[in-house]
Amino acid sequence: MNVGIVGCGNISEIYFENLTKVFRQVKVTGCSDLDRERAEEKNRKYGVPVYTTEELMQREDVDIILNLTTPPYHGTIDKMALNSGKHVYSEKPFAMSREEAAEVQTLAAEKGLRTGCAPDTFLGSSFQACRQLIDSGAIGRPLSVFASMNSHGVESWHPNPDFYYKPGGGPMLDMGPYYLTALVSLLGPIQSVQAMTSTGYKERTCSAPSTKGKTISVEVPTHYQGLMRFENGVTGSIVMSFDTWASEMPRIEIHGTEGSLLVPDPNHFGEKVTLMKEGKKVSVKKVFKSTPYKMNSRGAGLADMARGIESGTPHKASGEMAMHVLDVMLAFGEAGESGSVIEIKSTVERPEPLNPGAKKGEF
């Protein structure tokens, strides 16, 4: 299937790389950016034709729009694509609000088109190995989970950091999708949440070479401490922070009746997984080896969506899952403001795991 990329900023590089070299289900046939020079740069490197976004949406040689714009534009570009008869796959978060996400999903259903959304890191080797282990009973019945992402934000390295501190940004909407999508794919949907939130700094000063000295006013919470209950009864806690200088807290731990899984960074695809049973490490080498995506494989979710469209079967990084994760992330913010327990209204089925033994480029 043919893909048109809208938004040729920081994250687009790895998509251009993987969609032109790894995932043969798709071909990139056009790109656009508000800043045309950014798209021209990709044209020089990958030979992909440059159009305006309006032109790209009308092209017959585009079946799927890959939306790599910043969060405030995700919903608008998705709707524009659907109204032009194109399937859409968006970077996270899926939308800025539940209403916007619902509009996108309703429009897609009316048009008979698919929606998909990053992150697709849950298709990576770490999380597919964990999925096989949990599903095969390696930790018994899952009981509890701990998740944490501690950093000091993005202004020390990101060339365009403003949006991370505006509505649609913050650590929960920025990094929460990796953690929560991974957890939902392993443990199923989340039923209720509680939280406390805070904003450590009213202003951020950039130190990346291209923005050094620039200040950004912070409009969102930058520290979240949350509690969650999954529909299957698992309880857990989560910390998402742009207000910490250093941390030795684990990324994710899942504890069950017969063992514990120590799970690596869900922003990455193929880091080491540790399974502990009765105080002893149990080898997971064979399981890890049976999974294809150990490298940065961003774009796998889109390629799987193309596979799903062509075969008429469900795809894994779906709009439905992204909508549930958005619902949960917004609920953490609301719980932080109100101090109450928020019941999550949406739900979703766990996506099918990858076939063990699938090769790179397969699902």
Chain residues that interact with ligand NAD, rule: CB under 6 A: 6-12, 32-35, 38, 53, 68-71, 73, 77, 91-92, 160, 174
Measured from the CB atom, is 63 or 174 closer to ligand NAD? 174
Measured from the CB atom, is 265 or 352 closer to ligand NAD? 265
Mapped onto helix, strand or coil, the DSSP state of residue 111 is helix
Measured from the CB atom, is 169 or 259 closer to ligand NAD? 169
- How far apart (Å, rounded) are the C-alpha atoms in residues 302 and 123? 11
Measured from the CB atom, is 160 or 274 closer to ligand NAD? 160
Q: Which among 273, 267, 312, 277 is positioned nearest to 289, based on CA atoms?
A: 273
Q: State in angstroms the smallest separation of the CB of 274 from ligand NAD.
A: 26
Q: State in angstroms the smallest separation of the CB of 183 from ligand NAD.
A: 18
Measured from the CB atom, is 73 or 288 closer to ligand NAD? 73
Q: State in angstroms the smallest separation of the CB of 121 from ligand NAD.
A: 9
AA identity, residue 203: E
Measured from the CB atom, is 174 or 327 closer to ligand NAD? 174
Measured from the CB atom, is 37 or 278 closer to ligand NAD? 37
Beta strands in the chain (DSSP E): 2-6, 27-32, 64-67, 87-90, 115-117, 142-150, 190-198, 203-205, 215-217, 223-230, 235-241, 252-256, 260-263, 274-277, 280-282, 342-343
Measured from the CB atom, is 95 or 348 closer to ligand NAD? 95
Q: Nearest-CB residue to ligand NAD?
A: 9
Q: State in angstroms the smallest separation of the CB of 344 from ligand NAD.
A: 22
- How far apart (Å, rounded) are the C-alpha atoms in residues 191 and 332? 12
Q: State in angstroms the smallest separation of the CB of 348 from ligand NAD.
A: 21
- How far apart (Å, rounded) are the C-alpha atoms in residues 45 and 360? 24
Measured from the CB atom, is 154 or 239 closer to ligand NAD? 154
Asked if 130 contacts 273 with a C-beta cutoff of 8 angstroms, the reply is: yes
Q: Which among 17, 122, 116, 121 is positioned nearest to 65, based on CA atoms?
A: 116
Q: How far is CA 352 from CA 17, 240, 308, 363, in A?
A: 26, 27, 12, 10
Asked if 222 contacts 199 with a C-beta cutoff of 8 angstroms, the reply is: yes
Strand partners, 217: 203
Buried b (16+ CB within 10 A) or exposed e, 161-183: bbbbbbebbbbbbbbbbbbbbbb
Residues 6+ apart with CB under 8 A from 196: 224, 225, 226, 336, 339
Q: Which among 284, 256, 258 is positioned nearest to 270, based on CA atoms?
A: 284
Q: State in angstroms the smallest separation of the CB of 132 from ligand NAD.
A: 26
AA identity, residue 128: Q
Q: State in angstroms the smallest separation of the CB of 122 from ligand NAD.
A: 14
Q: Which two tokens mark 173?
A: 């909407």
Q: State in angstroms the smallest separation of the CB of 177 from ligand NAD.
A: 8
Q: State in angstroms the smallest separation of the CB of 165 from ligand NAD.
A: 13
